Amino acid sequence: MNAPASRLIAHLDMDAFYASVELLRYPELRGLPLVIGGGDASRPLLRADGTRSFARLRDYHGRGVVTTSTYEARAFGVFSAMGMMKAARLAPDAVLLPCDFDEYRRCSRLFKNAVRVLTPVIEDRGIDEIYIDLGDVPAARLDGGRAIGLALKQAVREATGLSCSIGIAPNKLLAKLCSEFDKPDGLTLLTQADVARRIWPLPARRINGIGPKASEKLASLGLHTIGDVAAADPAMLVERFGTSYGKWLHEAANGIDSRPVVTFREPKSISRETTFERDLHAVRDRVELGRIFTGLCEQLANDLKRKGYASRTIGIKLRFDDFRIVTRDLTLPERTSEARTIRRAAGECLKRVDLARRLRLLGVRAGALARLAEQIPPATATESIGKFIASEPAASCDQQRARSLPLFDRTEGSAR
């Protein structure tokens, strides 16, 4: 066994994060089904009497996806990543609000800073989740982490007004699994001795790292629960899934995970993408596409600057109306975080694509990152990397005061 029994790790995940942040400013929506997603059209209107009028899901038309939903909306079967039109059929009366990433990032910083004061060894896993190493918290051993868990929840609530759920276990894998057990506002302690009773009955897919393909293959072998995988012959798993994944499956299903809490990790790339409200054509919708493209490059440049990085490889991602995905990238002579340079490079990439078909999605990516000379502290720089590609509809780019460069001009030839 390579997982030292002495470790104690917490996984903290905010409850219905974006939706809960919105409820702070619109408390009149508490208790109602609420969905976050869609563009500016779903922004609330202030009536003359000072009350607000909110958009309803039933009035939504477009191709946006649900970014998140409150637990009241989840009761209707509405979850993250579901198409909004489908969600509207399930919960037509649900209130709809657009995303406000700046505000979510601000709250993310607030809750992480509050945690850091109590327990400084944290691994940032994106905008709303962190791992915490409780190894250096002497009192945590006495009660399995209950008191420090409660203190962390209290600190997060005081700093943000928001609730979170925490799982505390001997490793990251178990901590992540059990932080979900008692959501929302939960605190779950789990020891290795609880694995058989509490972890093995769960579907194999619940393990972070067992995706749709692997779980399908496991199911075809008659392995449905984590317990089924744990009981499977490790040699068979290796034979079917390869040495490294097969071994990992056996260990993970047995609750073994020796990964450390990594306090800082450099991002490999940063990207922005958007799915259009309707398919756009490179020639016929040149102006609109150009504006969206510029907006994405400006957002990306802002992301790079805020996080303190410069990029040497700029790439684009296109999804056509037949769902085919095409990517192209370009290596620059020098690193950049400037919107104009990114726009120019991304435009060069675009010239290498046949744009005869209409486009559904456009994305811009900055890779080969290096820290800028005027560094910002790593803790600030990493926050929110991970889930930051959100399903923003194209409308949100309109806010960016995008300048329209004649980028799609050249594509007319290939589009004919």
By CB under 6 A, tell whether 80 contacts ligand DCP. Answer: yes
DSSP 8-state class, residue 83: B
By CB under 6 A, tell whether 15 contacts ligand DCP. Answer: yes
By CB under 6 A, tell whether 390 contacts ligand DCP. Answer: yes
DSSP 8-state class, residue 225: B
First-residue to last-residue Cα distance in the chain: 63
Residue 402 to residues 76, 221, 405: CA-CA distances in angstroms? 38, 53, 9
> Which amino acid, one-letter code, is at 263?
T
| Residue 299 φ/ψ, nearest 5 degrees | -60, -45
By CB under 5 A, tell whether 14 contacts Mg ion. Answer: yes
Angle of the 146-160 helix axis to the 101-118 helix axis, nearest 10: 140
By CB under 6 A, tell whether 183 contacts ligand DCP. Answer: yes
By CB under 5 A, tell whether 22 contacts Mg ion. Answer: no
By CB under 6 A, tell whether 16 contacts ligand DCP. Answer: yes
Binding partner selected for residue 107 from Mg ion, ligand DCP, none, CB under the kind-specific 5 to 8 Å limit: none
For residues 166 and 150, give the distance between their C-alpha atoms in angstroms, rounded to a whole number: 9
Binding partner selected for residue 387 from ligand DCP, Mg ion, none, CB under the kind-specific 5 to 8 Å limit: ligand DCP
Complex with Mg ion: residue 180 or 279, whichever CB lies closer = 180
Helix (H, G, I), strand (E, B) or coil at 389: coil
User: In the set 42, 67, 274, 384, which binds ligand DCP (CB under 6 A)?
Assistant: 67
Two tokens at 173? 């894998």
By CB under 5 A, tell whether 122 contacts Mg ion. Answer: no
Question: Annotated catalytic, 216?
Answer: no
By CB under 6 A, tell whether 337 contacts ligand DCP. Answer: no
Complex with ligand DCP: residue 179 or 336, whichever CB lies closer = 179
| Binding window for Mg ion (CB under 5 A); candidates: 5-13, 44-52, 116-124, 183-191 | 5-13
Binding partner selected for residue 183 from Mg ion, ligand DCP, none, CB under the kind-specific 5 to 8 Å limit: ligand DCP
> Which amino acid, one-letter code, is at 96?
L
DSSP 8-state class, residue 374: S
State the catalytic residue, choosing from 22, 129, 383, 392.
129
> Which amino acid, one-letter code, is at 30?
R
Count of C-beta atoms within a 10 Å radius of residue 259:
12
Cis omega (within 30 of 0) on the bond before 406? no
User: Min. distance of Cβ 368 from ligand DCP in angstroms?
Assistant: 25
By CB under 6 A, tell whether 81 contacts ligand DCP. Answer: yes
Give the active site residues.
129
Interface positions with ligand DCP (CB under 6 A): 13-18, 67-68, 80-81, 127-128, 183-184, 387, 390
